[in-house]
């Protein structure tokens, strides 16, 4: 590829990203797919012999991620709260991916005791990829079984604890935190991780927890030595979660939203690409992205350390 072509392609990709709306929609994905800098798709069968676990895999991005990895040959474990619904999804995926190897495991990721139970009972041997996709945006401030604000429990504490408990099975593997572009509008709130002050906003709580995921990437990459830690954000995707939690946004942007497979594309790519993408980074549309777009959201090391201390204390690490 000519150097000037690569520079032009990278410039267009960056422009789509920084202007947000064009880059996050189905338009951005369609344009990027046709750029010469778009990374190659993982090859069919590239995940054969590998075991993957995907949380929140009964709908939306989680279902699309599970199906995408199964289609590449992985044995996929759907980690879900409702095993009956998980069973229906297994049949749905199996109908589209002949020969898919699928299992259902029950776990409420927001309940730390249930995460411990799940990790102790998991009958898989080695685990090559762990995708933390489970998410929620409760309309009112809600607490987990252990008394933590639910979005932080579900998006930060549960995933960290699950990976901690399974890390011995994951040497040389990858873990992926599915985050959100909404985190760009929030700074890290290590001073109030439980959202105890101010008027509660579901979208703010959600974005704060996603900001925490991204800010902790370098900490987790260092802690889980030998496991590559990634965060991916899907752009704007048409999922049941968006319909239920952001109905106005869905109504306005509906025609431009990506389908679930488009939203899950980078998560599948990060999980399967060879050589492995470098860990400790935020990815969107198969390219590493900045973790901050606004000066007011920038985080210093002391604030990041304070957040990690809260995580350690909450989990008893």
Q: Is 275 exposed, middle or buried (0-12, 13-18, 19+ CB in 10 A)?
A: exposed
Measured torsion, CA atoms of residues 55, 57, 61, 65, in degrees rounded to the nearest 10: 90
Query: If we measure between CA atoms, which residue out of 98, 156, 90 comes closest to residue 312?
Result: 156
- The secondary structure of the chain, three-state, reads CCHHHHHHHHHHHHHHHHCCHHHHCHHHHHHHHCCCCCCCCCCCCCCCCCEEEEECCCCHHHHHHHHHHHHCCCEEEEEECCHHHHHHHHHHHHHHCCCCEEEEEECCCCCHHHHHHHHHHCCCCCCCEEEECCCCCCCCCCECCCCCEHHHHHHHHHHHHHHHHHHHHCCCCEEEEECCHHHHHCCCCCCCCCCCCCCCCHHHHHHHHHHHHHHCHHHHHHHCCCCEEEEECCCCECCHHHHHHCHHHHHHHHHHCECHHHHHHHHHHHHHCCCCCCCCEEEECCEEECCCCCHHHCCCHHHHHHHHHHHHHHHCC
Count other Cβ atoms within 10 Å, centred on residue 54. 33
Instruction: Please state whether the predicted TM-score (pTM) of the whole model is above 0.75.
Output: yes
Contact 129, 69 (CB under 8 A): yes
Query: If we measure between CA atoms, which residue out of 293, 236, 289, 241 comes closest to residue 263?
Result: 236
User: Is residue 24 annotated as a catalytic residue, yes or no?
Assistant: no
Q: Tell me, what's the pLDDT at 16?
A: 85
What digits encode the pLDDT tens for the residues 199-232?
A: 999 999 999 999 999 999 999 999 999 999 999 9
Structure tokens at 67: 């199906």
What digits encode the pLDDT tens for the residues 46-55?
A: 999 999 999 9
Which residue of the set 24, 184, 195, 206 is catalytic?
A: 206
* Alpha carbon distance 182, 208 (integer Å): 9
Q: Tell me, what's the pLDDT at 204?
A: 97
Low-confidence ranges of the chain (pLDDT < 70): 1-2
């Amino acid at each position: 590829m000519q150097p000037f072509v690569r520079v032009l392609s990278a410039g267009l990709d960056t422009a789509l990203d920084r202007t947000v709306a064009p880059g996050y929609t189905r338009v951005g994905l369609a344009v990027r797919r046709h750029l010469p800098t778009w990374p190659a798709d993982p090859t069919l069968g590239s995940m054969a012999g590998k075991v993957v676990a995907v949380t929140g895999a009964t709908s939306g991005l989680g279902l699309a991620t599970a199906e995408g990895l199964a289609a590449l040959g992985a044995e996929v474990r759907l980690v879900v709260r409702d095993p009956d619904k998980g069973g229906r999804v297994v049949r749905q995926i199996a109908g589209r991916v002949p020969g898919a190897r699928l299992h259902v495991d029950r776990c409420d990721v927001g309940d730390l005791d249930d995460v411990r139970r799940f990790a102790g009972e998991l009958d898989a041997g080695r685990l090559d990829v762990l995708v933390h996709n489970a998410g929620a945006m409760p309309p009112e401030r809600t607490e987990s079984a252990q008394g933590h604000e639910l979005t932080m429990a579900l998006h930060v504490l549960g995933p960290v604890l699950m990976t901690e408990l399974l890390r011995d099975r994951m040497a040389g593997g990858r873990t992926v935190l599915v985050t959100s572009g909404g985190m760009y509008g929030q700074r890290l709130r290590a001073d109030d991780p439980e959202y105890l002050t101010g008027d509660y906003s579901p979208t703010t709580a959600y974005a704060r927890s996603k900001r925490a995921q991204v800010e902790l990437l370098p900490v987790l990459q260092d802690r889980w030595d030998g496991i590559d830690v990634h965060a991916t954000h899907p752009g704007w995707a048409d999922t049941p979660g968006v319909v239920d939690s952001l109905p106005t946004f869905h109504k306005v942007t509906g025609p431009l939203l990506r389908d679930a497979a488009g939203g899950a594309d980078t998560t599948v790519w990060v999980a399967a690409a060879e050589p492995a993408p470098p860990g400790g980074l935020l990815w969107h549309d198969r390219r590493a992205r900045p973790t901050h777009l606004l000066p007011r959201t920038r985080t210093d090391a002391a604030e990041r350390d304070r957040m990690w201390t809260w995580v350690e204390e909450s989990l008893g690490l």
